[in-house]
């Protein structure tokens, strides 16, 4: 059931927006299509709180879908950006901030060299082009339920067999664009082995979310990423780890900090975005020096961007990463643990079957039956009760808590989620669980 509108100014803006923009939004997931109702139009944000155009305040559990690790309008990020703005906004020539941000990323991750772009989509698109250019091979492997941006060759639904080539997941992507993409079930070693056994000599790279967060949070089973890295290496393919969402978020060192750094392996290429842009359009891909050196102008693989390494975005990203110290992650972990436990308690008390899953500081709640076990792949995730989630979402929104308007997303926190923000969530959860139970 779609609740009665409580946001007349948002309603009015949404009506105008729909006249001039498809669906009224500039990225589909911002619409409330999956949960019903009118998206809130945001006027301002500070710390853990969003304020909409009607003056309603919400604890933000989206954090711009990941980037706002330090919360909104962080004073030190704001000061750095303001100072940068006064020096001009884009030069089309290199700057010191790009060098500093690249050094910070090289320092914190296993990549040896890095190239900046403006979105996660560009980062994965460019990494795949580079992998193909480096290996001279054409096939790429991805997992169902992993999202890597709206790259044609990655917008592919799984074929039926284990190692069948994919069909496009959207009109507008020709079959030729996905005909070289193999889509496999996540966490399935046998499927990976079968795909490499059949197509190994043609596989340029395997790309995976380091810990999938775009079908809800589905952590890699222990050793799975290492297995992928080793399988790629033994077939001469590159292992591309997409840390656009997990990078500088799942832990200080991203998901890699939770597995690769501990187990002693590194991806050949990685992609980053979200947190590293500090709320501005900045993303990156990077990796082995010998692979990255194939990129233009040093090498033959072309890649470019008018606003790549933009001085405002790199300044915001650098300020954010420098402030993202261990205590930030400790705080987000503690706040997340409190909210996870409370959500689970409330749902249990209301009799709503659910499974809570985490990857470092990232987590999500699946409305699936725990008797079916953990959510290991997209088929498992697809069993989530979306009607129960919609009721849960709206009951929380009415109580000043803004969850992602989709059952298949991570819940994001920030270092600005203080006791008052967390308590607001805790107070709202029992009624939301009851609403979910009533569906």
**Residue 355 and residue 51: Cα distance in Å, rounded?**
31
**8-state DSSP, 415:** T
Distance between CA atoms of residues 122 and 244, nearest Å: 11
User: In terms of Cα–Cα distance, which of 47, 41, 43, 42 is closest to 73?
Assistant: 47
Angle ∠(91,108,214) on CA atoms, nearest 5: 85
Residue 119 or 308 having the CB closest to ligand PMP: 119
Q: Please, which residue, 231 or 406, has the CB nearer to ligand PMP?
A: 406
For ligand PMP, the closer CB: 148 or 199: 148
Distance CA 63, CA 403 (A): 10
To 10 degrees, what angle do helices 75-85 and 311-323 make? 160
Q: Of residues 192-231, which lie at the interface with ligand PMP (CB under 6 A)?
A: 209, 214
**Whole-number minimum distance, CB 243 to ligand PMP, in Å?**
7
Position 119 contacts ligand PMP (CB under 6 A): yes
DSSP letter at 281 equals: S
Angle made by CA atoms 225, 230, 233, in degrees to the nearest 5? 125
Q: Identify which of residues 71 and 273 has a Cβ nearer to ligand PMP in the complex.
A: 273
Whole-angstrom Cα distance, residue 57 to residue 44?
Answer: 10
Q: Is 284 in the site for ligand PMP (CB under 6 A)?
A: no
Of 131-160, binders to ligand PMP (CB under 6 A) are 147-149
- What gap in Å lies between CA 347 and CA 370, rounded to an integer? 12
Instruction: Answer for the pair 373, 218: CB distance below 8 angstroms, yes or no.
Output: no
Taking CB under 6 A as the rule, does residue 283 contact ligand PMP? yes
Please state whether beta strands 57-60 and 401-402 pair in parallel, antiparallel, or not at all (unpaired).
parallel
User: Which 8-state DSSP code applies to residue 270?
Assistant: E
Tokens of 392: 């849960």
Report which secondary-structure segment, H or E, holds 143: strand 139-143
Tokens standing for 263? 């187990």
* Bond prior to 94 in cis (omega within 30° of 0): no
Residue (109 or 214) nearer to ligand PMP, CB: 214
Q: How is the chain split among helix, strand and coil, in percent rounded to 5?
A: 40, 15, 40
User: How far is it, in rounded angstroms, from Cα 313 to Cα 331?
Assistant: 25
Closer CB to ligand PMP, 212 or 311, in the complex: 212
What is the total count of residues that contact ligand PMP (CB under 6 A)?
Answer: 15
Identify residues 235-274 at the interface with ligand PMP (CB under 6 A): 242, 244-245, 273
In angstroms, the CA 316 to CA 84 distance is: 9
Closest separation in Å from C-beta 30 to ligand PMP: 12
With binding defined as CB under 6 A, does residue 124 bind ligand PMP? yes
Question: Closer CB to ligand PMP, residue 12 or residue 42?
Answer: 42
Q: Taking CB positions, which residue lies at the least distance from ligand PMP?
A: 120
Nearer to ligand PMP, 145 or 273 (CB): 273
**CB-based contacts of 166, cutoff 8 Å, min separation 6:** 156, 157, 158, 159, 178, 179, 181, 182, 183
Contact between 31 and ligand PMP by CB under 6 A: the answer reads no
Residues 306-365 that bind ligand PMP (CB under 6 A): none
Using the contact rule CB under 6 A, the part of the chain among 81-89, 115-123, 370-378, 380-388 near ligand PMP is 115-123
Work out whether strand 203-209 and strand 238-243 pair parallel, antiparallel, or are unpaired: parallel
Q: Which CB atom, from 283 or from 429, has the smaller least distance to ligand PMP?
A: 283
Could you say which of 39, 47, 120, 267 contacts ligand PMP (CB under 6 A)?
120
User: Would you count residue 377 as binding ligand PMP (CB under 6 A)?
Assistant: no
User: At closest approach, how far in Å is the CB of 123 from ligand PMP?
Assistant: 7
Determine the interface stretch with ligand PMP among 119-127, 196-204, 254-262, 368-376 (rule: CB under 6 A). 119-127
Within its chain, how far is the Cα of 249 from the centroid? 9
52-81 footprint of ligand PMP as x/- string (CB under 6 A): -------------x----------------
**Enzyme catalytic residues:** 147, 242, 274
Smallest separation (angstroms) from ligand PMP to the CB of 437:
30
Distance CA 141, CA 182 (A): 5
**Binding residues for ligand PMP, per CB under 6 A?**
65, 119-121, 124, 147-149, 209, 214, 242, 244-245, 273, 283
């Amino acid at each position: 059931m779609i609740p009665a509108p409580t946001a007349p100014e948002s309603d009015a803006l949404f009506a105008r927006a729909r006249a001039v923009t498809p669906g009224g939004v500039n990225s589909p997931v911002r619409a409330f299509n999956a949960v019903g109702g009118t998206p809130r139009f945001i006027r301002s944000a500070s710390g853990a709180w969003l304020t909409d155009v009607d003056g309603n305040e919400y604890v933000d559990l989206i954090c711009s879908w990941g980037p706002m690790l330090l919360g909104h309008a962080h004073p030190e990020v704001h000061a750095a950006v303001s100072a940068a703005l006064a020096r001009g906004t884009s030069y089309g020539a290199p700057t010191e901030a790009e060098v500093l941000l690249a050094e910070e990323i090289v320092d914190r991750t296993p990549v040896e060299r890095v190239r900046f772009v403006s979105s996660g989509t560009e980062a994965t698109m460019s990494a795949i082009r580079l992998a193909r250019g480096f290996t001279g091979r054409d096939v790429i492997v991805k997992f169902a339920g992993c999202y890597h941006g709206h790259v044609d060759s990655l917008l592919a639904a799984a074929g039926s067999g284990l190692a069948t080539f994919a069909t496009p997941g959207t009109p507008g992507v020709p079959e030729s664009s996905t005909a070289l993409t193999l889509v496999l079930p996540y966490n399935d070693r046998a499927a990976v082995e079968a795909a490499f056994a059949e197509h190994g000599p043609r596989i340029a790279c395997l790309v995976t979310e380091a810990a999938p967060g775009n079908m809800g949070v589905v952590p890699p089973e222990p050793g799975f990423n290492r297995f992928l890295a080793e399988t790629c290496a033994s077939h001469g393919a590159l292992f591309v780890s997409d840390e656009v969402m997990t990078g500088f978020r799942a832990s200080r060192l991203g998901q890699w900090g939770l597995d690769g750094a501990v187990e002693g392996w590194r991806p050949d290429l990685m992609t980053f975005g979200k947190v590293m842009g500090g709320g501005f359009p900045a993303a990156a891909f990077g990796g082995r020096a010998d692979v990255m050196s194939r990129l233009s102008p040093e090498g033959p693989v072309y890649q470019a961007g008018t606003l790549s390494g933009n001085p405002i975005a790199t300044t915001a990203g650098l300020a954010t990463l420098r402030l993202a110290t261990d205590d930030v992650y400790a705080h987000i972990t503690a706040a997340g643990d409190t909210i996870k436990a409370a959500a689970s308690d409330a749902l249990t008390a209301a009799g709503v079957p659910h499974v809570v899953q985490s990857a470092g500081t990232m987590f999500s709640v699946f409305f699936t039956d725990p008797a079916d076990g953990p959510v290991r792949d997209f088929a498992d995730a697809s069993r989530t009760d979306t009607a129960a989630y919609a009721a849960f979402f709206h009951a929380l929104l009415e109580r000043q808590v803004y969850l992602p308007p989709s059952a298949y997303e991570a819940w994001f926190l920030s270092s600005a989620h203080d006791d008052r923000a967390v308590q607001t969530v805790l107070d709202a959860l029992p009624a939301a669980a009851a609403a979910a139970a009533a569906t």
